[in-house]
Structure 1
Amino acid sequence: MKPETFCLRPLLVATLLCTTSPALFAALGSWSTSGPAGGNVVALVSYEASPTTLWAAGRGGVFRSTSGGTSWTRIEIGLPEALFSTDLVAATSSPVVYLAAGRQIYRSGNGGDLWVPVTPPSAVDFINHLSLRRAGSNALLAASYNSLFVSSDGGGSWSAPGAVLGSNQYTAVDYAADGTLYAGLAYSDAATFSGAIVLRSTTGGASWAPTPAQPGGLGGIDHIVSSPGTPLRLFASDGVNLVTSSNGGSSWSGIALPEAGTACGVINQIAANPSVASGLIVGCSARGLLVTADATVASPVWQTYDASNGFTANGTQPPQLSAIAVHANFATTPSIWAGAGDGGLLATTTGGSCWSAINNGFQSTNIRALATHPVDTGNGAVFLAGYGDSTTTIRALYKSADSGGSWNPSNNGLNAEQIRSIAIDPTTVDSDPLTAENFTVYAAGRSERIPDAAAKDGGIYKSSNAGASWSTIDSGIAVVNGRPDMGTARTIALDPRSCLTPPASGPCVIGSGGLRKIFVTGGGRANLTAPGLPYQSARIYRSADAGASWTASDSGLPLPQDLGPPGSFNYASMGGVVPLVFDPGNTQTLYIGTFINWPQGQAGAVDPTLANGVFKSTDGGASWLHASNGLPRYAGAASSNWDVLALAINPANPQILYAGTSNLFAGVPTGNVYKTTNGGTSWSLASTGIAGQDVRALFIDPNDPTGDTVYAGTGGNGANPGGVYRTTNGGSSWNSISLGLPADSATALAMPRRAAGAAPRILAGTTAGVWDYTSPSDDDADGSPSAVENALVGGDGNGDGIQDSTQARVASLNGSGLLARTAQGGGAVTVAIQPGTCTQLNDSTSLAAALYPPDNIAGTGSHDAWGLASFSLPACAGASVRVTFHGASFGADWSWRNYGPRVPGNADTFGWYRFAGARLIDAQTWELRLDALRQGNYRDDANDILFVGGPAQSADLLFSDGLQ
């Protein structure tokens, strides 16, 4: 795919955002993605020795480009899944890269092909910033919010300052080329550094002191950088003002920004010109990019680059930058690369006069909303995807006109920084499943005050041409601080029987002219000046005229509660309403799910008791009653119920509903599914087999006439991955179908329309785009398709005389080792649970060792011959599992090694280790004794096991205890 170029015809930017490619579908039985590309950018660096080599990190992962950003490749071998990156730095003359992620720092000595954890600084909470000294690869400065640490050996060891650092708050660091270290503070403890906001160390970090002079007029430091070639030249900003020093902080002077035209707004980023010591590049939230060759003179000459030059993420406004990288020889090669917050990556080769989006392969879009055409089944079916959790200018909504094969932004007129819900009006489509037509679609989300307060709206949008253009529909949403504002609008739902002439029963038919009754849910705006005050803006609004006007509809929902102690203004409040579903037979009956906000851990406070969870209305939303009996509670019997972030109603029996519950306040976040069979009168747990940290999405398969086939999407992290789960028995048991899906997984689910009998296709919204899965025939749900199991080792890999494809406890797989094994007569792998209480395998697969870092204890290449086996055991506290590598001849120089967290559930402890529960029982077969509460399980989950490990050949381990 070609990079997206904007500068040639800026007025047509909305139509030039992305090129298209033929429709691509997921391979049967596996997850894959075709976009949308772009999204969140945390850090971006260029390699000085080869400046067209770039590294970028974002919420979707870590990536590298060797083509100046034309294309990107994921580089994560050795990194835990679902890594939350905070910073990234690279050496100037060797391909050494460091990545900060939470409490851990990772190092790659080969440009990102392999990452290894380094010794983390002691007693550190969260590494926010890294800086690496030029012309070296081992001198590293790290900062957490309230600490500074220095390593001279690439993270092998760390030293902290000799002086007590007090309550300072560190927001920026710089390791200058001459060895001087600088730190910028947002807040300085007067007792330690007398209120200084810039510190320096000339002792390699052993001691720190304020620079001889402090920059005047700054409220703190957001950014500080030194000139690469002239290290005494410093630039610093507090987000509003700029200053510079020519002598390492002995004196400072202000830098004048342009006076004419649009004001800068917030200074998001600054970067020193690598070629000219006085040169500076500034990212402004409102004005765009400012470039000057000399920022040190009284009146710098600035060049401004904005949307008219293609410097934009949404086509109309400049992006809010999170990172800037500059070509090392900028004087002769005027290339700049920019990370646009949640708006993806941009590049210029003309010093700024012409910009292109460079997102091909950069998968970091956080998709929180999905909608598929309600009728079309061909390759031209329209899908829509919404980007969530952003407060910067982005491409908030994407459209695929080729059934998910490619994605283009669809933002014309859309004044949104995030989209959390999309609803296509099924009565506005035609009945031909192969034709495209203009239909009506609604979206709900959030706009910010960008570029100013006048831009804020109610977060509700409508398109009458299938998303080609949008208008804001927020008339009647309460005005708060001068603008319509209901917080984040989280769900928009259409009453399926609200056409002008509804049928006697069932939904309005295709072509019946448009639905009229619409509900939108959101956070509302609580009044927390005193307990029990009415909300300033409602949590639910309804429209009877297709969105032309709205009225509040949250009567009966709780008001804020005072948790005490007296006078502390410590309130609990309903944070918002997320899902809303209609009873399809009687749309006067509706259900909503809600979540709660309250400060944790305040001394003297009581637990919240305000109503939360599920509410029900039987009068079309005019009033709501709490309907959460049986849902879990945060504390005692009278405390608030857990959050409900997903709901689904059985169309065949509307008394049956499923609720996704989450406790995000727990030490280990927990999610479950609950079920009611009596319209919300009571709920019971229906979560057997589900794992992950929360349940964010529920979807009922419309092709199952019983309504008993339900899908659930859960979130997670590297050590407790989320996934997509399916039940075919109404929630009695669930099976994971998560192979290949990002570990933090599904926050939205959708199912494209399909013909009767066709394999179901599932779309999942993740932090790395839209992922796509087409279900194979896998009757025993073990992860290995029936056709594969029937084709391998006579269809009976464990030799029990029963077809593997009919046994949920046996899975035969194609092996994934890297060495040819034809001569050995094998290659297949069979995983079999031995008789006991556990009877189900999920997500069984064989994985190539190249997907993992080398096992340094067993030796590089020690796993290559047979690869690794991976599987999960739902609803299982412990089991004996046998893994047979057909054709193998394991001897005394083989041992079993696991990869994963050494401490179950702890993503900071990833690595290789000897699995003590393994023993070789014959030349081909290993027996694994698994306990959900002990090492060997990825998860910190007493009732669900996720296992990854395999045989390693190493003579060195023959007489070793192998405890590493």
Structure 2
Amino acid sequence: MNRESKQPLRLAAALSLGLAGSAALAGVGSWTTAGPGGGNVVALVSYEASPTTLWAAGRGGVFRSTSGGTAWTRIEVGLPEALYTNDLVAASGAPVLYLSAGRQVYRSGNGGDLWVPVTPPSSTQTVGQLALRRGDSNALAAATGTELYVSGDGGGSWSAPGGTLSGGANYYAAIHYAADGTLYAGLSDSDPGSFGGAIVVRSTTAGASWAATPAQPTALGGITQIISAPATPLRLYASDGNSVATSANGGTSWSTLALPATGTSCGRITRIAANPAAATGLFVACGARGLIYSADATAASPAWQTYDAANGLSANGTDPAQLSAIAVHANFAATPSLWVGASDGGLLASSNGGTSWTAINTGFQSTNIRALATHPLDTGSGAIFLAGYGDSVTTTRALYRSVDSGSSWTASGAGLNAEQIRSIAIDPTTVDADPLTAENFTVYAAGRSERIPTAAAKDGGLYKSTDAGVTWNTIDSGIALVGGRPDMGTVRTIAADPRSCAAPPASGPCAPGSGGLRTLFAAGGGRPNSGGPGLPYISARIYKSTNAGASWSASDAGLPLSQDLGPPGAFNYAGMGGVVPLVFDPSNTQTLYIGTFITWSPGVAGAAEPTIANGVFKSTDGGASWTHMSNGMPRYGGPASSHWDVLALAINPANPQVIYAGTSNLYGGAATGNVYKTTNGGASWSPASSGIAGQDVRALFIDPADASGDTIYAGTGGDGANPGGVYRSTNGGASWNSISLGLPADSATSLALPRRAAGAAPRILAGTSAGVWDYTAPADGDADGSPTPVENAILGGDGNGDGVQDSTQAGVASLNSSGTFARAAGGSGAVTVAIVPGSCTQLNDVATLGDTLYPPDTLAGAGSHSAWGLAGFSLPGCAGSVVRVTFHGASFGPDWSWRNYGPRVRGDASTFGWYRFAGARRIDGQTWELRVDALRQGNYRNDADDILFVGGPARSDDLLFSDGMQ
């Protein structure tokens, strides 16, 4: 299934909008995905007018189902890429949706097919919860933490917050519109100077004035959720996360509900939902118990029904799911359909009122893949791949397995007591030498488990499988106890010494079938004791095993302790957040390198800057001791401050003195990522980042098929205005080219290259927040994004008419047009993008883009871009350039102008829209000349050395734009 996003170079021109057909391997020259489905869920809504129409949002995007959840499609046209949704609400009788993300609210009037930004409630505050009045698609309210806002025109304008609402310690965590028009707000923190310290306030004047409800739910410590019964608006329910209170009279009086008194306690209450047809019926999502329901939750001793793993309501098959969303059929219980979203466990549905549940994740791609491993020898269609889910602290399907070379994925969690997996290592000595057979092999995984459902469930986050990842055992003997349980924080890497078999050869790694590797290293965050003298660590950051994981011992001597940054009494510490990558010198595996990151709070008044050692450390004694080796890497502040974080390492097997490090500045304003290189085993480092773009470098991988070790892949993270991607260098890091067409913008957090036959094109796997993405490199010798066969087939291979084949020129790319002219002409239209000779020479990710991938350009006119479509490209390592775009066969006249789509403010994803690009001029009937400056409008990124651009000609009778912006 193919995902297309809204931003320019995340689009492959040949793909169609949304999710296409069935899963398949990567198409040559474009990124595709086959899953895994499921993952993070933030919001889930059932459409009251047609309850089998559902909308869901998570870290992986926004989706819709018209089949009760059996299949999902992506609906994101008009939304920024890498969107982090806070809330999603739907009107009851019209397909009108509102979505909050950051400081922005988006509206769709057609069920999600197109989104448009509305006026932000606040220019400074994040919009949290939204509320929409039942039966009114324009009566909208928003909570932004310290303020409440109300709109009567669907977000066109917002009321100014009342004076008694703001200031002090008030924090509005919940807002709700009852069907009678009363607005209720819940405060998680309340200032006694406002409303007398009340935690529930209401407005009967559409937000013009607010007052505390006559009585307060005194048993609650603050409100995190407040709802009303849809058909009985005076019946309220409120929760503080620990208890639930109810009112039958709009807050005139309150009583506390009696939750189940026997069996497992509810634990943290994450969601409440009313029965639409019965005012006293209530669903409560319990972190430790699953979902409970009572038809009369207001009774003195309610009868509660529990739905948990025994009913199939589980993300991992063992524990009850921790729910983040509940949707109830509008005609419940006559139609006993329920849908829920698990925080990191995907979507589930019940058609019998909760008696049984099934996963409904087909097409819902929100799995955050932070670890990848592929069979080290197999090249056939039955090769086994493994993928790990990261960043979860709730139950999830933490590990996925593919037995068909990535065409499909299934959860593989038998015995795996993990909420997240951050590293996977296949023992290459336990595989056979036949590349076309499947066999049991040993694999290790590392991550994190939580105290779910009880404290006894916690383990050290280290796991082993001897049957190729089908079943797992915990291997945490020797990990220090914290709170009575083995705990070294999040384990971010596990690696096996490739020469630690029983009888290693004279040189090089142990051979396949040589009996299993014995020495392992596991590294993570450790557990500091900030209250102890000298700020010691209770649990080490690195552990070593010499018996294949049967036992572990601390191995982090030489790593720094935490640092008190002051001022005195502020308890403001800088500490090593963790060890991420660990690599061995293949010629001498007693030499190891690690990359580390620190955590601290910048901007604390009176605090010192951190100076603890950070970046790269080296051991030459098998991990017994470590030495800081970051000379030449950038620092966070002054000349003695801590070095930037290192989140990725790769060592050249042909010359182990050559190492690449991905450095990231996560505390210096705009996050930036770079690659540094050492040629002397870490003694000194120098930049090797030309062409790299994005916010951080999270993954580095050296292509084993290149005997020189000079072909390297880098994965970077990003957002809509500064997309990450995958970059390739074939010259040892001297320069990098993007290969990111069709890849989600916040990619990539992990990389793998499956084994391939000699001479075969490289295939790349990337872990993203929307699953595993797959790419097979086309023949593209000039790395401009247009494959050589495509360029050679267009206009005799010389689209710019300079007498040189485009396929040999890195600054010239020719492609088929995406406009309706080309389609009407049977695909004969063509577009040539060419750099005018000057300071920049390289094009990357050149694409032609259909206008339907974007919101209508309302200023130029709907359909104004249809005839010729748009062009997108990037200019790596380029501060400014002149680029000519020729639409062959066009006859542009004075009623045409060039319009860009992207951020009006460079690097600001909240400012996306259409605008007239002042740097464009038409030089003839076919060609536009674009003067692009990295530090001016026209570049997506706020990056002085990398340009990302998308735009195209628009036909419009009105060219009198006052400021050139929509």
The question of a shared fold, defined as TM-score above 0.5 by the shorter chain, is answered with yes
- Give the alignment partner of residue 845 of structure 1, picking from 847, 853, 862: 847
1:59 aligned partner, one-letter code: R
Q: Is the 8 A contact 1:813 1:830 kept in 2?
A: yes
- 1:116 aligns with 116
- 1:458 aligns with 460
- Give the alignment partner of residue 724 of structure 1, picking from 710, 723, 726: 726
Q: Is the 8 A contact 2:914 2:965 kept in 1?
A: no
1:441 aligned partner, one-letter code: V
Seen in structure 2, the aligned counterparts of structure 1 residues 634 and 817 have a Cα distance that, compared at 3 Å, is: same
Seen in structure 2, the aligned counterparts of structure 1 residues 23 and 513 have a Cα distance that, compared at 3 Å, is: farther
- 1:886 aligns with 888
- 1:137 aligns with 137
CA distance in 2 between counterparts of 1:322 and 1:221 reads: 16
- Give the alignment partner of residue 415 of structure 2, picking from 407, 413, 416: 413
Moved more, 540-549 or 260-269: 260-269
Seen in structure 2, the aligned counterparts of structure 1 residues 206 and 815 have a Cα distance that, compared at 3 Å, is: same
- Give the alignment partner of residue 599 of structure 1, picking from 598, 601, 606: 601
Alignment partner of 2:288: what SS?
Answer: coil
Q: Is the 8 A contact 2:822 2:830 kept in 1?
A: no
- 2:636 aligns with 634
- 2:18 aligns with none
Q: 1:824 Cα shift?
A: 9.7
Moved more, 834-843 or 812-821: 812-821
- 1:816 aligns with 818
Seen in structure 2, the aligned counterparts of structure 1 residues 346 and 824 have a Cα distance that, compared at 3 Å, is: closer
CA distance in 2 between counterparts of 1:738 and 1:436 reads: 32
How many correspondences in the alignment?
Answer: 945
2:70 aligned partner, one-letter code: T
Moved more, 71-80 or 532-541: 532-541
- 2:611 aligns with 609
- Give the alignment partner of residue 902 of structure 1, picking from 904, 914, 921: 904
Instruction: Please state if 1:467 is matched with 2:466.
Output: no
CA distance in 2 between counterparts of 1:773 and 1:826 reads: 27
- 2:577 aligns with 575
Q: Is the 8 A contact 1:369 1:748 kept in 2?
A: yes
Alignment partner of 1:668: what SS?
Answer: coil
- 1:398 aligns with 400
Kindly provide the CA deviation profile for residues 677-725 of structure 1, in whole angstroms up to 9, marking residues without a partner as x: 0000000000000000000000000000000000000000000000000
CA distance in 1 between counterparts of 2:385 and 2:261 reads: 45
Q: 1:568 Cα shift?
A: 2.2
2:337 aligned partner, one-letter code: S
- 1:93 aligns with 93
Q: Is the 8 A contact 1:893 1:958 kept in 2?
A: no
Seen in structure 2, the aligned counterparts of structure 1 residues 202 and 375 have a Cα distance that, compared at 3 Å, is: same
Q: Is the 8 A contact 1:824 1:888 kept in 2?
A: no
Q: Is the 8 A contact 1:531 1:560 kept in 2?
A: no
CA distance in 2 between counterparts of 1:85 and 1:818 reads: 34
The normalised TM-score by structure 1 is: 0.97
Q: 1:222 Cα shift?
A: 1.8
The normalised TM-score by structure 2 is: 0.97
- Give the alignment partner of residue 562 of structure 1, picking from 561, 564, 570: 564
- 2:384 aligns with 382
- 1:709 aligns with 711
Alignment partner of 2:157: what SS?
Answer: coil
- 2:12 aligns with none
Instruction: Please state if 1:800 is matched with 2:802.
Output: yes
- Give the alignment partner of residue 692 of structure 2, picking from 668, 687, 690: 690
2:858 aligned partner, one-letter code: N
1:350 aligned partner, one-letter code: N
CA distance in 1 between counterparts of 2:322 and 2:696 reads: 31
Kindly provide the CA deviation profile for residues 741-783 of structure 1, in whole angstroms up to 9, marking residues without a partner as x: 0000100000000011100000000000000000001000000
Alignment partner of 2:527: what SS?
Answer: coil
CA distance in 1 between counterparts of 2:394 and 2:823 reads: 53
Q: Is the 8 A contact 1:81 1:717 kept in 2?
A: yes
Kindly provide the CA deviation profile for residues 262-300 of structure 1, in whole angstroms up to 9, marking residues without a partner as x: 221111110011111111111111111111211121111
Alignment partner of 1:308: what SS?
Answer: helix
1:181 aligned partner, one-letter code: L
Q: 1:193 Cα shift?
A: 2.2
CA distance in 1 between counterparts of 2:601 and 2:917 reads: 42
Alignment partner of 1:935: what SS?
Answer: coil
- 1:665 aligns with 667
CA distance in 2 between counterparts of 1:452 and 1:208 reads: 42
Alignment partner of 1:454: what SS?
Answer: helix
CA distance in 2 between counterparts of 1:564 and 1:286 reads: 39
CA distance in 2 between counterparts of 1:162 and 1:714 reads: 44
1:609 aligned partner, one-letter code: T
CA distance in 2 between counterparts of 1:151 and 1:328 reads: 26
Q: 1:530 Cα shift?
A: 4.7
How do 1:850-889 and structure 2 match up within 5 A?
850-889=852-891
- 2:243 aligns with 241
- 1:26 aligns with 26
RMSD after superposition: 1.3
Alignment partner of 1:895: what SS?
Answer: strand
- 1:81 aligns with 81
Alignment partner of 1:783: what SS?
Answer: coil
Kindly provide the CA deviation profile for residues 821-853 of structure 1, in whole angstroms up to 9, marking residues without a partner as x: 555994111000000010000000001101000
Q: 1:961 Cα shift?
A: 6.8
Q: Is the 8 A contact 1:235 1:245 kept in 2?
A: yes
Alignment partner of 2:547: what SS?
Answer: coil
Q: Is the 8 A contact 1:33 1:769 kept in 2?
A: yes
- 2:527 aligns with 525
1:287 aligned partner, one-letter code: R
How do 1:270-419 and structure 2 match up within 5 A?
270-419=272-421
How do 1:535-550 and structure 2 match up within 5 A?
535-550=537-552
CA distance in 2 between counterparts of 1:660 and 1:227 reads: 52
Alignment partner of 2:64: what SS?
Answer: strand
CA distance in 2 between counterparts of 1:772 and 1:961 reads: 42
Moved more, 861-870 or 301-310: 301-310
CA distance in 1 between counterparts of 2:307 and 2:960 reads: 64
- 1:51 aligns with 51
Moved more, 647-656 or 169-178: 169-178
- 1:750 aligns with 752
Seen in structure 2, the aligned counterparts of structure 1 residues 233 and 471 have a Cα distance that, compared at 3 Å, is: same
Q: Is the 8 A contact 1:227 1:277 kept in 2?
A: yes
Q: Is the 8 A contact 2:450 2:458 kept in 1?
A: yes
- Give the alignment partner of residue 261 of structure 1, picking from 260, 263, 270: 263
Q: Is the 8 A contact 1:22 1:406 kept in 2?
A: no
Alignment partner of 1:233: what SS?
Answer: strand
- 1:15 aligns with none
Q: 1:815 Cα shift?
A: 1.0
CA distance in 2 between counterparts of 1:898 and 1:959 reads: 14
Q: Is the 8 A contact 1:418 1:447 kept in 2?
A: yes
Alignment partner of 1:57: what SS?
Answer: strand
2:26 aligned partner, one-letter code: A
The runs of at least 4 aligned residues of structure 1 exceeding 6 Å deviation read: 958-961
Q: Is the 8 A contact 1:23 1:403 kept in 2?
A: no
Identity %: 76
Q: 1:463 Cα shift?
A: 0.4
Q: Is the 8 A contact 1:671 1:695 kept in 2?
A: yes
CA distance in 1 between counterparts of 2:458 and 2:574 reads: 26
- 1:128 aligns with 128
Seen in structure 2, the aligned counterparts of structure 1 residues 281 and 963 have a Cα distance that, compared at 3 Å, is: closer
CA distance in 1 between counterparts of 2:828 and 2:906 reads: 33
CA distance in 1 between counterparts of 2:253 and 2:264 reads: 30
CA distance in 2 between counterparts of 1:248 and 1:498 reads: 70
Q: Is the 8 A contact 1:531 1:562 kept in 2?
A: no
CA distance in 2 between counterparts of 1:161 and 1:654 reads: 62
Q: Is the 8 A contact 1:531 1:561 kept in 2?
A: no
2:293 aligned partner, one-letter code: V
Kindly provide the CA deviation profile for residues 328-363 of structure 1, in whole angstroms up to 9, marking residues without a partner as x: 111211111101001000011100001110000001
Q: Is the 8 A contact 1:744 1:766 kept in 2?
A: yes
